[in-house]
Amino acid sequence: MRIAVRTEHAERIIADSYAGASKPLTKTTSVRNHHDLQSWRSSPRGERRADTARKFAAVPFYLELATHSTETLPPNSFPAVFDLADGQRRYPDKGLIKSLLDEELISGQTINDELVFVLTPSGQVTFERRQT
């Protein structure tokens, strides 16, 4: 999904909110079909529980990038593919997304043939509580 933010700006946003080495926005992904929810659920390894600092930095970051979408998205949602303004393509971290799906903190919805992740009511409570 088209995002009106350049790669450098997106990387600066996450660097300012998460000091860890493994940033939750990737250049490549092992997801075979980016717009198929089941592709995001498969993973050769497990992800830690969704209470890690990385996850609590990632979800607000993904939601922030989604506010710059050129298409209208549902509240509390972000796309499975970020097509940035400078032509670069980035993805949410697959293991992180799998963990959030497994814990039912997000669900998938298709909009204009593109997969969008939406915070569930439980996900909204979890991430709102952490931000306050």
pLDDT in tens, 70-81: 999 999 999 999
Q: How confident is the model at residue 28 (pLDDT cuts 50, 70, 90)?
A: confident
pLDDT at 53: 85
Length of the chain: 132
SS (H, E, C) 47-69: CCCCCCHHHHHHHHHHHHHHCCE
C-alpha radius of gyration, the chain, whole number: 13
Place of tokens 């997106």: 10
- Max Cα separation, the chain? 37
In the structure, what pLDDT confidence band is assigned to residue 44 with cuts at 50, 70 and 90?
low
Return d(Cα 94, Cα 34) in angstroms, integer: 10
Beta bridge partners of residue 111, listed in sequence order: 114
Model's pTM, two decimal places?
A: 0.90
Per-residue confidence at 51, pLDDT binned at 50, 70, 90? very low
Whether 37 shows a pLDDT value over 80: the answer reads yes
Predicted confidence (pLDDT) at residue 34 exceeds the cutoff of 80: yes
Q: What percent of the chain has pLDDT over 70?
A: 91
CA-angle at 24, arms to 60 and 26, nearest 5°? 130
